[in-house]
Amino acid sequence: MHTVFRVTAVKQMDNKNELYQVELELTSDDDQQLRLLTDRIREEVDVCTGWERLGKLLLTTGQYNKAEELYNVLVEQTSDQGEKAYYYVCLGYVRDHQGDYEKAIWYYEQGLEILKRTVPSDHPYLASSYNNIGNVYDSMGEYSKALSFYEKALQIFQNTLPSNHPDLATSYNNIGCVYDNMKEYSKALSYYEKALAIRQKSLSLNHPDLAASYNNISFVYHNMKDYSKALLYLERSLDILQHVLPPTHPEIQNVKDGIEIVKKKL
């Protein structure tokens, strides 16, 4: 492997937004974050510029503070509206993962307003923005607002994507989650099943998103006190996770614990 450095800081060196100092730290051969980074390098090659690639890798490895420093620099530097919208979305992502939901919404809305001016009303970027904002409102427990944004995203995807596209499944799943949180279990189950049907047709048999769908449906059946069906879907989820995750992964143990809880209620 070539010499690899970790970014420790990004600092402005002048007042003209022309020169920045990037502080680097040499990584060791067994650096855990380096392993995470190199595992994802090939998945990040679609990013256009070196700075954008760096920002995306910082997000991927959970270095949110450093990513925020970088994206704040980039959003101030660029005059391209598409780039600016993208950087605002990335800043929203950072704040969302830090639990600063109000600021996350502010950043996401800045990006959304730019997109409304620059892309068609049914563009997938708009749907993604609506989903992002819906996710934050869901995390805040503001379910009616979350539902409103999720439904806007779903409408765009329904109008522009094939009926078995994974993004449609994500939209159905998002809406199902909101209804689940609102304790409207029959509606939640309906949307979860729509998501599952698409994923069964469009994904591999052991795809983690299928496990997530089985898990979600299991929780609904558990809340509806239909424990036999809850157990059935948990076991399907576990079967997938045992194929794609290491045996000591905490998610496997979580599902096993859930199975034991359900069995005691049968």
209-238 tens-digit pLDDT: 999 999 999 999 999 999 999 999 999 999
Q: Which helix (H) or strand (E) holds 246?
A: none
Q: Tokens representing 240?
A: 């997938």
Q: Tokens representing 38?
A: 């190199």
Q: Please give the mean pLDDT across all residues of the chain.
A: 87
pLDDT on residue 17? 53
pLDDT on residue 220? 97
Place of tokens 């904002």: 133
Which contacts qualify for 5-13: CB closer than 8 Å, 24 or more apart? 6/31, 6/33, 6/34, 7/54, 7/58, 7/63, 7/66, 7/70, 8/66, 9/66, 9/69, 10/66, 10/69, 10/70, 10/73, 12/73
Amino acid identity, position 145: K
Q: What is the mean pLDDT of residues 154-161?
A: 97
Whether pLDDT at 2 is above 70: no
Amino acid identity, position 28: S
pLDDT on residue 14? 55
Which domains, ranges and CATH numbers included, belong to the chain? 1-77 (no CATH), 79-160 (1.25.40.10)
User: Tens digit of pLDDT for each residue in 81-138?
Assistant: 999 999 999 999 999 999 999 999 999 999 999 999 999 999 999 999 999 999 999 9
User: Tens digit of pLDDT for each residue in 27-45?
Assistant: 444 555 545 544 544 444 4
pLDDT on residue 52? 80
Whether pLDDT at 66 is above 50: yes
Whether pLDDT at 193 is above 70: yes
Whether pLDDT at 55 is above 90: no
